[in-house]
Amino acid sequence: MFSNPLIYFVVIPVVMLLGIYLSRSMAQIRSVAVAGSILLTALSVWLIVDYLGLRAAGDMAPMLYRGDWMWFSALNIKLSVGVDGISLAMLLLSSIILLTGSFASWKINPLPKEFFLWLILLSIGVFGFFISIDLFTMFMFYEVALIPMYLLIGIWGTGRKEYSAMKLTLMLMGGSAFLMLSIIGIYYHSGPDVNGAAHTFDLLQIAANDAIPHSWQYFLFPMAFVGFGVLGAMFPFHTWSPDGHACAPTAVSMLHAGVLMKLGGYGCFRVAIYLMPFAAQELAWIFLILTGISVVYGAFSACVQTDLKYINAYSSVSHCGLVLFAILMLNTTAMTGAIMQMLSHGLMTALFFALIGMIYGRTHTRDIRQMGGLMKIMPYLAVCYVIAGMASLGLPGLSGFVAEMTIFVGSFENTNTLNRVFTIIACCSIVITAVYILRVVGKLLFGPVQDEHHLQLTDATWWERTSTATLIICVAAIGCFPNFFANLIRFTFSPDIFAVLK
Amino acid sequence: MDYSQFLAMKQEIALLGVFLLVFLYDLFMPKNSQRGLSGFTIAIFAIFTVSCFCPVFISGHEVAFGGMYVTNPVMLTIKNILNVGMLIVLIQASRWANSEMQVIRRGEFYSLMLVTLFGMYLMISARHFLLFVIGLECASLPLAAMVAFEKNHYESHEAAIKYILTAVFSSAIFMLGLSFVYGLAGSLYFDSVYFALTGADATDPMLIVALAFVMAGVGFKLSLVPFHLWTADVYQGAPTSVTSYLSVISKGSAAFAFMVILTQVFGCVYSQVWEWMLYALIILTITVGNLFALRQHNMKRFLAFSSISQAGYIMLGIIGCNAMGMASLMFYILVYIFSNLAAFGVIQAIENQTGKVDMTDYRGLYKSNPHLSVVMMLAMFSLAGIPPFAGFFSKFFIFTGALSGTESTALYVLVLIALINTIISLFYYLLVVKAMFLSSDEPVIAPFRSACSERVGMWITVAGILALGLVSCFYNQILILCQTWGLPSLA
Amino acid sequence: MTPINPTIPLLILALPLTMFLVLGLLGPKMSHKAAGWLGVCGMGTVLILSYFTAFTYFFSGNEAFTDGVNRLQYIVFNQDWLQFYDKLVIRIGFLLDPISAMMLVVIPTISFCVHLYSMGYMEGERGFQRYYAFLQLFSFSMLGLVVATNIFQMYIFWELVGASSFLLIGFYYQRHSAVSASKKAFIVTRFADLGFLIGILVLSYYTGTFNFTELTSAATANGSYAISETTAFSAFSSFGGATFMGCSLFSWALVLIFMGGMGKSAMMPLHIWLPDAMEGPTPVSALIHAATMVVAGVYLVARLFPLFLLDDFSALTFVTVVGAITAFYAAVVACTQVDIKRVLAFSTISQIAFMMVALGVARPDIHHGMGYMASMFHLFTHAMFKALLFLGAGALIHAVHSNDYTAMGGLRKYMPITHITFLIGCLAIAGIPPFSGFFSKDEILTAAYENSFFWGAWMSMVAALTAFYMFRLYYMIFWWNEPDYSAHHHKPHDAPWVMTAPLVFLAAVSCVAGFIPFGHLVTWNGAPYTIHLDWSVAIPSVIIAVCAIALATFMYKKENPLPDRVAKATGKLWTAAYNRFYWDEIYLFITHKIIFNCICRPIAWFDRHIIDGTMDGFAWVAQRLSIAIRPLQSGNVQYYVWVYISGALLLGVVTAFFMI
Amino acid sequence: MEIKLLYYLIPSLIMFCCGVYGFLTRKNMIAILISLELMLNSIDINFVVFNRYLYPDGHEGMFFTLFAIAIAAAETALAIAIIINLYRATKNIDVRDTNKLKG
């Protein structure tokens, strides 16, 4: 079992949990967290390199590094792991954000030990989710990732934290209620497994069987899509996002917006569309409308917010909406773009939240009307903010651009009038994005200093610099060398693997 | 008469032996060594519990007394599950039982408890309604005495009055239903009734009313809505040890018995009649239980309503009407015992120390008593069905069990309603977590070290919460047993 | 043999980018001087390299660049950057053809001048290093734009120039006006780029390619590409006559792409950002908002010109109309402004519109597509003299510390070099021979008259206005009445050499650029021809220009009440022109009143109260229900039993009812 | 005159209903206990007559009745004990006053 490299994505965090539990000082906690997440990052980088090598050598299996261990034999529940380029990209994203999040929580107070314990428990859920290809295991990890949010926001958050934490948890659990039903439904219509069992939770097997009756797909697809869509902040199930993000502590916002929301998009294509191609084709239009609304609606809402985190949360609604939107276009290019958008948005929004946290930590306000001219006071953070903003509004050379362009080009491939219309509507979001990003940049960073007291504030410390610089480098890396990532992702979206693309 | 058939009842007989030992110890030991009673009881009950897993108890399908009594490995297992729960309850109760107030009545407490367990054994193993009724009464009447145990507390008396009156009323209803069944089927043997009803007209109003009354009678023990109203009052008024006993052991046995009755006696009229009745009961139970639990402040009362809604989830296992449903039901009971007892363990520890049982008293508990609050949190997460704790698995399996082998959309809708209810339940479980962890107030309860027995109880329950789900052998084993031995007569 | 070492073009792009990164990351650690000279040297190197490249292209006569008759397109390198699917690939490459080679001359020249000039102009400014970093970023983006091998590369760099323009306009970030101007510039051009993007999507969807070489030209034997009407026609026919809202999709695509050009080139109605963009440092205005970036729109249309030709001329007509209206509008507004940079800004708008009109009226059958050549020619000469004018204006502002020409007057005595060079610039733009503007503008007018008399006359009128407002400006600054300069701590004087040297150089170029045989170098299909001045157009336009100058002289040479009287006499019209015909107000109304207040706010409200309210509503309902059913738990055991028995009976009765 | 099954069942039903009615309306707990006894006894009648009239071959109903009587006795004894306990504590056995636990 431990010869499979993927298992270490769960094992390392578990060891980290133990290490942090045994830590006696803040320094030890930090070193465990940082060392562990560096290890995870290194592991995912190594796996990507190795994966590309295997693919280049002609390995055409849909998933590599497969491992299957029977768990609940009676229900044919297995602990199966396996990754393709998409999961690898997501693993890399998660480990980078965990790393930068650890740096961003360098001085977390109070209860640092508990904070990191929960944070890493959350990351176990995330990593586990991305490596699993067994629906049950996947779902289990999915829920593991959800619940630490409650405590992380509730204890270390700010503002109306108890309300927000509760709302977030309940809404996400509401989504997973639909999801659970859908998963059980899929299970009972999955068709036989290779080992002779009547039903299976194995994603690849279910997709290969393609045995879910069409009438059931009509029922199960919306369930699964809405279930994951809630986490993907799909309109109208997105309202947990602004409140939740606004109240969460920095690292949690980072991890949540950066990675956890990606679980939604990932699940949508990996479970809903992958397993139920028929319904995906038939019902895509409903969700296309919803996600199309998400895209512009989030952007318009962000235009009038005054709280930095709310702005970013609504912007996340818009950008994550674009992810789901692209997935629903059901063609290779758009879906590749969706994954790139996930990566891009993950990094970019983590950067945003990190910066907002750092600014908030200094000024103790997130209201843009009470701040101004920060460029003069904390140039490093301000420049980073501008870069994040530029990435968000899709400046070439940064990650947002390549992702959005891939999505738009891909979406336009779809000749359906509705899709076309919504593609053009979604395109409009790039203008609105520019509006709200520049509004913030103009008010917050530029202009005269609003508050005399702010003049005393200091610029970023070394750990904050590390955290933000890492993210910026990643954002720029995707933006400058998109083809590497596109090729990593595209393999999965071939008609041989994704029935819906036929 | 062939006395060898008593051998089939070896578990019951062993339990009676335990009962007698405890009874005699209480009767004949000098007063100065009375303090050893609880330790003695725990010890011999632990031996009994462990030995029940030994091969000597394991047998195939055995029948005694002309088919009135049946045992098989599935029943052995459910009894073992109850034993484990009982053991934890005993351990947790020992501090309370050793307190000055209870010293003189300790013997009765243990004896009565063992007798109720004996009654539950009979309920589980009965294949004749006479034996079943005896078991039922044996399981519920001594409980009334136990509820009334806190002689100096008015609440205890009121709870006991409510319990005994409702219990008798419900057994009257139950027996009225049985009389109708007898009138229709001419026998009280489960299988005879089953065969008699096989050809019967399912729309016979007499049958339907009989069924409703039988369901009401067992539903009382399970506290299904609308037969649940006694629950909260009794749970609140009873001594906490008794409450925890009521909420898990008594409920667990009743759930199993309910499944046996519905599937093995009325199985033939399944789809026509009781399926819909059960749907209604489940939806009502889960929803009403949840809604009541939303606004409770007394922890015991809160857990009472939570246990009502949990009973609704347990009922989902019956719907599948097959081995998987049964296994899920048993597994659910097992996990529920551990989770709920963990919660009650914490409540008891705090109540014994400070006398506080209100949720507002739990504010800031993490600051003063981190371990207790972590145990409580795990219990709440497990009850709410959060992975990786056992509750998640039991919930997932119970839903899987409910939907196994069905294409019925109505059933999916039912499960969806149950799932949506989990959100409400999550809300109120999180309220407890919120009080303990999120509140920035100064803790109400000062730091203290709980008694050794309480800690042992908590360790066991926490181990259960962590291990029962993640370690797959428990469920796998139960399911295999159920597939081999459970529900033979059903399609 | 490769016709050109690919390292050189690569360096042309890589060097400014490297400089940007170096100056951006290490700049704060450097001294101002070091950073400035690093930037200047970097740009100097780029200048040399691109001159080398351009001259190699034009004059080496290599068969990759010309097949003996026509000039060819040559791709130096073309690297895959992002693949969408098998055919549709974004590449980053380097295309050499007449117009890109011409731009390779224009951009580094102006950029270098500005770099040098800024050493003096920006001396001691906070963020000096940052300024140079941004200049390098801009140069990189602009160069990348012009050498783009495919439309998506162009779009990428198009966005990048937009961003660097944003950063440079907002350079004085503590000034509100600068911040809002930069925001406006970015958002308006962004809006235009939306059209561009959708245009690209449509075009690439039907033609299946982004590459210019596959859209407009065909490969020749030696690996180069020649403009080919056949290829363009196949791109056109790949649309299969698809229509949308009554117009062919092909027209839509072109018009949408042109919309991007309208934004960048400040055509009506997307021109509003350019005058405000003058909030940036003046050298930036010279570089970005006069000479290079703003002509990107013209360049874009020129790039896709073969496609525009195919669209039954309807897209070209659109271009012409937009250009003509803009030219006139901007000229009229320029006559009334008092801020010298604004006058120049409107003049820029007007001149770019000239180029647009030139493209719009160009037809291959009229004088070898003369309009195209004229447009590019004007682009070239305009870049030089407009940069000159802006840099001159910068020197003036540097001297008197004000943009407003009421604070100026009689400066000819104090700043002789500036005065002479500025005058040359004015003469050039007014179209007085032998200055460069005369030649290029004359070609445009000729092309316009060839197309139709109406356009010719219209543009002649605009040319007259141009001469008038430029000399109004000139007189107001250098003559008119001398204000009291003693308030300043020193008298105005000429700038240091780093600032005057570029002025002199550009003035010299403006004097001689008109004699460049442009027709031999830049034509729409690469076929060279010789330009002949059409005297029937040239002589009247010179006369008109002289008359306009005379009028300006009459009105503005000495302080007199005539201008005020004229202003009063024209009344509302003058006020409207002074207020730029209220375009800004209209935009403000639309964005703030309509979009912000009628869309964003309601949506935000809707989200908080309706959507979120619904979610909270569920919780509220649950709580209310919880309260509502509370009496059920009354505490009375008889009541419990009552519920029990009625529940049991109901269960039975209802079931029985449904069963029977 | 032949005595039919129904002649027994109807009084039994009436008895049961009286019991229920008594339970629901009496204030005194002892009276409630008496009502419960009525209900239980009516069930006994049911069993006996069913056995006698419908299934005269066996004795299951009879046996059940015997056990039911015993159980009823036990229940009553226990209930009375608890009522006495309550009476000692509060000097009041009005069922409507024992409603402190609610909500």
Contact present, B399 and A179 (Cβ < 8 Å)? no
Residues of C in contact with D98 (CB under 8 A): 637
CA distance A479 to C92: 13
Of A14-18, A440-444, C369-373, minimum mean pLDDT range = C369-373
User: Average pLDDT in the A331-360 region?
Assistant: 91
Q: Quick check: bond before C434 cis, omega within 30? A: yes
Phi, psi at A196, each rounded to 5°: 95, -10
Count each helix (H run) and each strand (E run) in chain B, helices first: 20, 2
Residues of D in contact with B127 (CB under 8 A): none
Torsion of CA B74, B77, B81, B82, to 10 degrees: 70
Interface partners of chain B (CB pairs < 8 Å, 3 or more) are A, C, D
Q: What is the pLDDT of residues C275-322, one digit of tens each?
A: 888 888 888 888 888 888 888 989 998 888 888 888 776 888 888 899
Are the Cβ atoms of B202 and C659 closer than 8 angstroms?
Answer: yes
- Three-class DSSP category at A393: coil
Counting CB pairs under 8 A, whether chains D and A reach 3 or more, is no
Of B137, B165, B182, the CB nearest to D79: B165
- The set of residues, in sequence order, having a beta carbon less than 8 Å from that of C61 and lying 6+ positions away, is none
Are the Cβ atoms of A174 and B399 closer than 8 angstroms?
Answer: no
Are the Cβ atoms of B168 and D36 closer than 8 angstroms?
Answer: yes
Q: Which residues of chain B fall short of a pLDDT of 50?
A: 489-491
CB pairs under 8 A between B and C: 96
User: Which helix (H) or strand (E) element contains residue A64?
Assistant: strand A64-72
Q: Which of C12-21, C204-213, C481-490 has the highest mean pLDDT?
A: C12-21
Q: What is the pLDDT of residues A412-467, one digit of tens each?
A: 888 888 888 899 889 988 889 998 998 888 888 888 888 788 788 888 889 889 89
Chain A touched by C598 (CB under 8 Å): no
Q: Tell me the residue type at B318.
A: I
Q: What is the pLDDT of residues B352-402, one digit of tens each?
A: 888 888 988 998 899 889 999 999 999 999 999 998 899 999 999 999 988
- The set of residues, in sequence order, having a beta carbon less than 8 Å from that of B480 and lying 6+ positions away, is A74
Q: Which two tokens stand for residue A94?
A: 């998660």
CA distance A475 to C292: 29
Residues of B in contact with D32 (CB under 8 A): 165
Q: What is the pLDDT of residues C420-466, one digit of tens each?
A: 888 888 888 888 888 888 888 888 888 888 888 888 888 888 888 88
A-facing residues of C in 68-87 (CB < 8 A) are 80-85
Residues in chain A: 502
Q: Quote the DSSP letter at residue A67.
A: E
Are the Cβ atoms of A144 and B404 closer than 8 angstroms?
Answer: no
Chain B touched by C615 (CB under 8 Å): no
pLDDT of residue C593: 83
Q: Quote the DSSP letter at residue C272.
A: T
The alpha carbon of residue C650 is apart from the nearest alpha carbon of chain B, in Å, by 9
Q: What is the pLDDT of residues B171-212, one digit of tens each?
A: 999 999 999 999 988 889 988 888 888 877 777 888 888 989
Closest to A107 measured CA to CA, from A384, A454, A344, A460: A460
Indicate which of C151, C183, C249, C621 best probes the interface with A, i.e. most A CBs within 10 Å of its own CB: C183
Residues of B in contact with A219 (CB under 8 A): 409, 412
Are the Cβ atoms of D40 and B144 closer than 8 angstroms?
Answer: no
Of B403, B476, B483, the CB nearest to A188: B403
The alpha carbon of residue D78 is apart from the nearest alpha carbon of chain B, in Å, by 8
User: Average pLDDT in the C37-53 region?
Assistant: 91
CA distance B6 to C435: 124
Name residue A70's beta-bridge partners.
A78
User: DSSP string covering A10-29, please?
Assistant: HHHHHHHHHHHHH--SHHHH
Chain A touched by C601 (CB under 8 Å): yes
Q: What is the pLDDT of residues C198-255, one digit of tens each?
A: 999 888 888 888 888 888 888 887 778 888 888 888 888 877 777 777 778 888 888 8
Closest to A268 measured CA to CA, from A322, A217, A228, A318: A228
Long-range CB contacts for residues B197-206, cutoff 8 Å, separation at least 24: B197/B265, B197/B266, B197/B268, B197/B269, B198/B268, B200/B268, B200/B269, B202/B269, B202/B272, B202/B273, B202/C659, B203/B272, B203/C656, B203/C659, B203/C660, B205/C652, B205/C656, B205/C660, B206/B180
Are the Cβ atoms of A170 and B397 closer than 8 angstroms?
Answer: no
Chain A touched by C55 (CB under 8 Å): no
Q: Does residue C625 carry a pLDDT above 70? A: yes
Chain C touched by B206 (CB under 8 Å): no
CA distance C77 to B427: 62
The pTM for the full model equals 0.92
User: Which helix (H) or strand (E) element contains residue C145?
Assistant: helix C128-146
pLDDT band at residue D22, thresholds of 50, 70 and 90?
Answer: very high
Are the Cβ atoms of C160 and A482 closer than 8 angstroms?
Answer: no
Task: Parse chain A into domains and list their residue ranges.
Answer: 5-501
Q: Quick check: bond before B55 cis, omega within 30? A: no
pLDDT of residue B283: 94
Of C626, C632, C637, the CB nearest to B165: C637
Closest to D85 measured CA to CA, from C486, B158, A112, C24: B158
Residues of D in contact with B158 (CB under 8 A): 86, 98-101
Q: Which two tokens stand for residue C265?
A: 């080139």
Q: In Å, what is the CA distance from B154 to each residue of B148, C424, D90, D91?
A: 9, 108, 8, 12
C-facing residues of B in 106-165 (CB < 8 A) are 161-162, 165
Counting CB pairs under 8 A, whether chains C and D reach 3 or more, is yes
Are the Cβ atoms of C638 and D100 closer than 8 angstroms?
Answer: no
pLDDT of residue B488: 55
The alpha carbon of residue A184 is apart from the nearest alpha carbon of chain B, in Å, by 6
CA distance A482 to A496: 24
User: Average pLDDT in the C164-184 region?
Assistant: 88
Q: Which residues of A lie closer than 8 Å to B, measured between beta carbons?
A: 71-75, 77, 136, 139-141, 143-144, 147, 150-151, 154-155, 161-162, 165-166, 169-170, 173-174, 177-178, 180-181, 184-185, 187-188, 219
pLDDT band at residue C487, thresholds of 50, 70 and 90?
Answer: low
Are the Cβ atoms of D98 and B161 closer than 8 angstroms?
Answer: yes
B-facing residues of C in 450-509 (CB < 8 A) are none
pLDDT of residue B490: 44
> Which residue of C lies nearest to D98 if distances are taken between CA atoms?
C636
CA distance B259 to B325: 10
Q: Does residue C564 carry a pLDDT above 90? A: no
ipTM confidence score: 0.91
Are the Cβ atoms of C202 and A412 closer than 8 angstroms?
Answer: yes
Residue, of C494 and A175, whose pLDDT is higher = A175
CA distance B389 to B138: 34
Residues of A in contact with B475 (CB under 8 A): 72, 74
Are the Cβ atoms of B294 and C626 closer than 8 angstroms?
Answer: yes
Residues of B in contact with D89 (CB under 8 A): 154, 157
Are the Cβ atoms of C179 and A442 closer than 8 angstroms?
Answer: yes
User: Average pLDDT in the C153-169 region?
Assistant: 90
Radius of gyration of chain A (CA): 21
Residues of A in contact with C150 (CB under 8 A): none
Phi, psi at C560, each rounded to 5°: -155, 160
3-state SS, one letter per residue, for B47-67: HHHHHHCCHHHCCCCEEEHHH
Are the Cβ atoms of D23 and C635 closer than 8 angstroms?
Answer: no
